[in-house]
Amino acid sequence: MPPPDEHLSDEHLVDRWRQHNDQSAIAELAERYLERFYATARAMTLRCTQAEDVAQETMLKIVRSIGSFDSRKSFRTWSYTILLNTVRSHQRRSSIRSQRTDASVDVGQIAIHQHTLETQLVENETRQKIQQELANLSDKQRTAIVLTLMDGLAAAAVAEMENCSVDAIYQRVAEARKTLRNAPSLKQFWQDDR
């Protein structure tokens, strides 16, 4: 069996895994998704330690339930559905809603270069402001904005995961953006973007 190729689709890797028990295929999928799952879980739960647990648990659930994956559908959408369900399960179990402002949390894929101590302090303050405002969004708004804007998923894929219409996702993103735009601590980031 040839080693996994970065150019193979997720679905092709799943087929290799299921048909040939190709461990390199699952390793390639884990490499592609584990960091994404962590970043998304971190943005959704706003807690570093929970995000690690959620990302790993999601990969385990994918491995265990690969037989139920319909290869005519998108692996990415299917796997993110598992991720969202895992995030929600962790939230219910740990009742983190009252503890959402962990100051050490990064907002995931916001790439900021750190050159000087002064710059680093400003950037840390910015991250804190963004996390605090994300925590103020409803779960539905946060899910919509994180998955569409931060993870780059299509609104249709998010709608499928959330069992709602695409218009509902667009509405949630619009409401989240409006809330974030009106947040006093983030005003400086939305200059002339109305």
Task: Give residue-wise pLDDT tens across range 118-157.
Answer: 555 555 666 677 777 788 889 899 999 989 988 889 999 9
Q: Is there a contact between 75 and 69 (Cβ–Cβ < 8 Å)? A: yes
pTM over 0.75: no
Closest CA to 148 of 137, 138, 160, 157: 157
Task: Give residue-wise pLDDT tens across range 58-78.
Answer: 999 999 998 888 888 899 999
In angstroms, the CA 115 to CA 129 distance is: 20
Task: Give residue-wise pLDDT tens across range 80-89.
Answer: 999 999 988 8
Q: Is the pLDDT confidence value at 107 over 70?
A: no
Domains with residue ranges and CATH for the chain = 1-97 (1.10.1740.10), 115-194 (1.10.10.10)
In angstroms, the CA 62 to CA 12 distance is: 15
Task: Give residue-wise pLDDT tens across range 146-168.
Answer: 899 888 899 999 999 999 999 99
Q: Is the pLDDT confidence value at 106 over 50?
A: no
* CB half-sphere exposure, 70, CA atoms < 13 A: 5
